[in-house]
């Protein structure tokens, strides 16, 4: 039995991962946090993970733990982490532990400043339609029955949505060493200073360097900064750029134009068409032909919570 303790289990992503790990055979999860939202409290109770009381409890850290996982806001001087290091336990941040859970799988990471949840949702939708099982982590629930995180023994693919929490941008990307990476953009926002934008460019370069050997990088061609970054890639990385696919509108329905036929879509908007092209290229790298992808994407709807 693998015993894992989550310090910072009240954080949304940590909670999703903890539940997914706890559902695996031969895993037992415990956790702690200083405070909990009403939603996290209810979720912890429903999944049998409520730690009985808020706060940090070093007495819950013992030598029989196989790993201690730290949240985004867990400080180095946290008493539980100090105890874990004193005992010589393996301590991982959230993203590092995702890698440990999926190191034998083909990892796809989606990151950037534009519609990352939509691209991730499209990839997972097509995988389900083509009956390819996948582990995943998303920031938003894709539907009422789907969790935000799934970790399993049987799937050979893992799809992770990276997040943009300022200084934590790219944490999942870097730690998970993707085989396939989708970068939707690093274009400057109006409020960005020149120094902040330069930092984002440098961070993008560093993230790409963490990709697995012979990684596949998919990036938005309309982002000048990304175009610049991708002119000087590691020699083994293969890059694919994407833009808006050919389409036309008939009776308020968008039809994707292909060599074989025009394919009706259930969603609209050029930004969503960009997301479609990014997801299509990502799926192509894991053996899903364009015809299969387009047939599967025709009934995809943008979730209301996106």
- Torsion angle (degrees, nearest 10) of CA 266, 271, 273, 279: -110
Q: pLDDT tens across 154-209, in order?
A: 999 999 998 654 455 678 888 999 999 999 988 666 666 777 777 778 888 988 99
65 Cβ contact partners less than 8 Å away, ≥ 6 residues apart = 3, 4, 5, 84, 89
Tell me what pLDDT residue 143 has.
81
Q: pLDDT tens across 201-239, in order?
A: 888 898 899 999 999 999 999 999 899 899 989 999 999
Tell me what pLDDT residue 140 has.
86
Please identify which residue in the block is written with the tokens 């695996």: 24
Strand ranges across the sheet with 253-257 = 247-250, 253-257, 262-264
Whole-structure pTM value: 0.94
Tell me what pLDDT residue 173 has.
84
Q: SS3 letters for the chain?
A: CEEEEEECCCCHHHHHHHHHHHCCCCEEEEEEECCCCHHHHHHHHHCCCCCCCCECCHHHCCCCCCEEEECCCCCCCCHHHHHHHHCCCCEEEHHHHHHHHHCCCEEEEEECCCCHHHHHHHHHHHHHHCCCCEEEECCCCCCCCCCCEECCCCCCEEEEECCCCHHHCCHHHHHHCCCEEEECCCCCCCCCCHHHHHHHHHHHHHHHHCCCCCCEEEEECCCHHHHHHCCCCCCCCEEEEECCCCEEEECCEEEEECCCCEEECCCCCHHHHHHHHHHHHHHHCCCCCHHHHHHHHCCCCCCCCC
Q: Hey, what domains does the chain have and what are their CATH numbers?
A: 2-96 (3.40.50.720), 103-297 (3.40.1190.10)
CA distance between the termini of the chain: 38
Does residue 45 have a pLDDT over 90? yes
Q: Are 219 and 241 in contact (CB under 8 A)?
A: yes
């Amino acid at each position: 039995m693998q015993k894992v303790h989550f310090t910072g289990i009240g954080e949304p992503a940590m909670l999703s991962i903890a539940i997914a790990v706890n559902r695996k055979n031969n895993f037992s999860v415990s956790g702690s946090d200083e405070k909990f939202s009403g939603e996290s409290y209810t979720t912890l109770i429903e999944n049998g993970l409520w730690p009985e009381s808020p706060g940090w409890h070093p007495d819950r850290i013992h030598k029989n733990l196989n790993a201690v996982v730290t949240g985004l806001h867990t400080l180095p001087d946290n008493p539980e982490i100090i105890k874990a290091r004193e005992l010589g336990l393996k301590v991982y941040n959230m993203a590092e532990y995702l890698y440990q859970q999926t190191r034998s799988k083909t990892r796809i990471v989606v990151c950037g400043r534009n519609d990352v949840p939509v691209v991730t949702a499209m990839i997972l939708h097509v995988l389900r339609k083509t009956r390819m099982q996948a582990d995943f982590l998303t920031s938003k629930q894709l539907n009422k029955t789907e969790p935000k995180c799934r970790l399993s023994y049987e799937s050979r693919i893992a799809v992770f949505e990276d997040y943009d929490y300022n200084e934590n941008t790219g944490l999942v990307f870097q730690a998970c060493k993707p085989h396939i990476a989708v970068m939707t953009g690093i274009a400057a926002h109006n409020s960005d200073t020149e120094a902040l934008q330069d930092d984002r460019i440098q961070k993008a370069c560093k993230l790409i360097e963490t990709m697995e050997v012979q990684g596949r990088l998919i990036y938005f061609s309309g982002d000048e900064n990304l175009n610049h970054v991708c002119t000087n890639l590691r020699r083994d990385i293969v890059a694919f750029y994407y833009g808006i696919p050919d389409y036309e509108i008939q009776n308020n329905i968008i039809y994707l134009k292909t060599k074989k036929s025009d394919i009706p879509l259930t969603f609209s908007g050029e930004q969503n068409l960009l997301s479609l092209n990014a997801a299509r290229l990502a799926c192509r790298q894991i053996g899903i032909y364009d015809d299969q992808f387009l047939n599967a994407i025709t009934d995809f709807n943008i979730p209301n919570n996106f």
